[in-house]
């Protein structure tokens, strides 16, 4: 699999959805960025919204990997987000909730929670990866109680525009590196993911795509990127679902 370099980011003040825009022409290497989405996409058909100017959405097109590695593409996108946050806000010790929600722990005077989500869509020729990063939302502007924004988690208030650009550059660099590592040394990439995934070893509940829940201990991630859940000696493998970390 030969990687194309990223093209110059197509930056929009507002757009319906960066993923939808990229899916209209899913060329590998293409990058679409927006400060606001009017019809942002979330997992399982959900919408993703934020007040204008308070978030950053970025979607990229990447070449299809080998079929056995496809499930790892959205997972390593979460790692790229986590690493880019560490580069641009060193006080953050972000972790991932399987598969790729990026979580920041709460501080004494700061709000923790989900700061970024990732959505991947496969086409016949590529994979479109979208990431939505909460930046300047206040507590009242966040969609759910379990979410946070960069501003709330850092305690610094509204962030300068240059921070967005720095995070985007770091994200694209880390994603590029991880995609190439996945191609040449998949085990290293898997180890990198496990090193930042807070789900492993936790008691969790997973809401299944077809309805219902499974409870157990997340004991690992298999070779396809699926979550391995163990309960009362029985082991199940889940390729999709919404995970809740239990206390």
Residue 2: per-residue pLDDT: 43
The predicted-structure confidence for 41-94, as pLDDT tens digits, reads as follows 766 556 667 788 899 999 999 999 999 999 999 999 999 999 999 999 999 999
* Alpha-carbon distances, residue 210 vs 4, 75, 156, 174, 201 (angstroms): 37, 22, 41, 34, 25
Tokens at residue 194, please?
């496990």
**pTM of the complete model:** 0.94
Contact 79, 111 (CB under 8 A): no
The predicted-structure confidence for 177-221, as pLDDT tens digits, reads as follows 999 999 999 999 999 999 999 999 999 999 988 888 999 999 999
Residue 232: per-residue pLDDT: 86
């Amino acid at each position: 699999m030969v990687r194309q370099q990223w093209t110059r980011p197509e930056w929009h003040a507002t757009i319906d959805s960066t993923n939808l825009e990229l899916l209209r022409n899913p060329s590998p290497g293409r990058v679409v960025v927006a400060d606001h989405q009017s019809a942002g996409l979330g997992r399982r058909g959900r919408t993703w919204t934020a007040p204008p100017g308070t978030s950053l959405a970025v979607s990229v097109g990447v070449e299809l990997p080998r079929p056995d590695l496809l499930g790892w593409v959205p997972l390593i996108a979460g790692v790229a987000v986590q690493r880019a946050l560490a580069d641009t806000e060193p006080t953050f010790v972000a972790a991932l909730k399987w598969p790729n929600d990026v979580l920041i722990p709460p501080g004494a005077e700061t709000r923790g929670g989900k700061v970024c989500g990732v959505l991947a869509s496969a086409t016949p020729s590529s994979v479109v990866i979208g990431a939505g990063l909460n930046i300047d939302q206040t507590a009242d502007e966040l969609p759910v109680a379990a979410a946070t924004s960069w501003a709330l988690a850092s305690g610094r208030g509204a962030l300068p525009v240059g921070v967005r650009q720095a995070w985007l550059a770091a994200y694209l660099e880390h994603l590029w590196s991880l995609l190439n590592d996945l191609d040449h040394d998949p085990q290293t990439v898997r180890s990198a993911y496990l090193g930042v995934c807070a789900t492993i070893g936790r008691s969790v509940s997973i809401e299944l795509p077809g309805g219902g829940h499974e409870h157990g201990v997340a004991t690992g991630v298999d070779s396809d990127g699926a979550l391995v859940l163990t309960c009362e000696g029985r082991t199940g493998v889940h390729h999709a679902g919404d995970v809740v970390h239990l206390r």
